[in-house]
Chain A
């Protein structure tokens, strides 16, 4: 049994919080299975997973306590196997102008640039949640050897498609924005297109693998 709590935020946001810094894969998949269960109830206008929480916004403010109880029961009963992720491959050019921070990441971590590329691209990541910008997916968990804090001074313009790392996460900037993550590569994959019916390629729980482009290896 995990240590967790549920509460109502404001009038109609229901929150389930798991008291742990990082979720185990088992808990993570349970959370995505709960996301699917919540969608099926058809009472939530929006359902937002985050690192250790999931928040459901009720369509109406009537009876939030009833749905809070149902949410709590569902979390206890749900099986992580109910969740089957979609897998994406993202072709990435690492280093040089595509990844202006690759060399500094290498020197700060005591690795050489091709080791950084190897560590970043050898594993799969899961979309923990999206936020910050439309289509900005927080991907984890990054290899501990690559953990670095954000830049002291964020860039005012990060180009769309930038592949970046910060702390235990990696991400792709879907659009141009300011940003403090370290840029190690670039992809031409368009991650967010507001004109599409399903505007974001990456959905919570999806699995992502970065594939180094053969023309782009350092």
Chain B
């Protein structure tokens, strides 16, 4: 099993999230960076929806009790296997008693750590292993991992190292205008796109709160409607909230924009104080960006299969 020696700031079990229960008020949860999580699994020949560990900030330490292959993707958080650096986007082999540590970084926030075959003895809740820390279910006992937790996994023979760089993280986030943007004065509509937005410290997995010097406060009220990760709400204080995976299923603030699916991965890497811009996009561009990511994953899968066949 994998022992969590140091759990860090927020380390939790996530998969691609919960679906089919939003009408009952059940949040999506799941990994914020699906491209990173899917890549981590592809590197290990796991099915793409296998649960992985999402590490926020870093500062954590794990110990393996038996040999297996593992992979790390997402942000570069100074990961080391027995004190020796391991690269993000690569697959490695751990022996019994090896330790894996994560430091932290100014340039990224979330890393993904997967083991071959995934973690055993974790029970799905509503068809998902994703931890919903707000609702208190999923993952391990519905909470973030704590020091001393153990996660059983299966022993495997070495597969050999392989890896590939993922597309870079950027802080220009493409968005499609939302249904209530037209309710704002024209000037404010433009501010969304021409401002540098700074990520606020009270951001979390429910939402990324951003602020700028421009006053976008308003007294518009709309009727609550369904919301989901990527929705950008504008509360009356004028400081937008970009909803993330643990957001509620309905919300009553005006929806001024929606982050395109392919760019949601960047949101998970923006730490407090980081700056970002929003760039207007249309639906065909969003689809094209998503197609590119699918191609990237398909190529990675072929490369891994080819590598592993050669080495049998």
Contact = CB atoms under 8 A, between A and B. Distances in A.
Interface stretch (B18-26, B197-205, B268-276): B18-26
A129 B20 CA distance: 15
Interface residues of B, number: 37
B260 A11 contact: yes
A4 B80 CA distance: 57
Residue of B20, B23, B230, B259 most packed against chain A (CB within 10 A): B23
B135 A133 contact: yes
Interface in A131-164: 131-136
Contacts, number: 115
A166 interface: no
Given A50-B223, A175-B135, A10 B24 contact: no
B250 A131 contact: yes
B6 interface: no
Nearest to B230: A10
A132 B25 contact: yes
B172 interface: no
Interface in A37-65: 45-55, 57, 61-62, 64
Contacts of B283: 8, 11, 64
A203 to B, nearest CB: 7
A46 B24 contact: no
Given A194-B135, A199-B24, A131 B249 contact: yes
B82 to A, nearest CB: 39
14 contacts: A9-B255, A10-B228, A13-B228, A35-B23, A53-B223, A57-B19, A61-B261, A64-B283, A131-B25, A131-B224, A134-B21, A135-B24, A194-B137, A200-B24
Interface of A: 7-11, 13, 15, 17, 21, 35, 45-55, 57, 61-62, 64, 129-136, 175, 192, 194-195, 199-200, 203-204
Interface of B: 19-27, 125-126, 135-138, 176, 178-179, 223-226, 228, 230-231, 248-250, 255, 258-261, 283, 286-287, 290
Given A53-B223, A54-B226, 19 more contacts: A9-B178, A9-B179, A10-B228, A10-B231, A13-B228, A21-B223, A46-B20, A46-B22, A48-B249, A55-B226, A57-B228, A132-B250, A134-B26, A134-B135, A175-B135, A194-B137, A199-B24, A203-B23, A203-B24
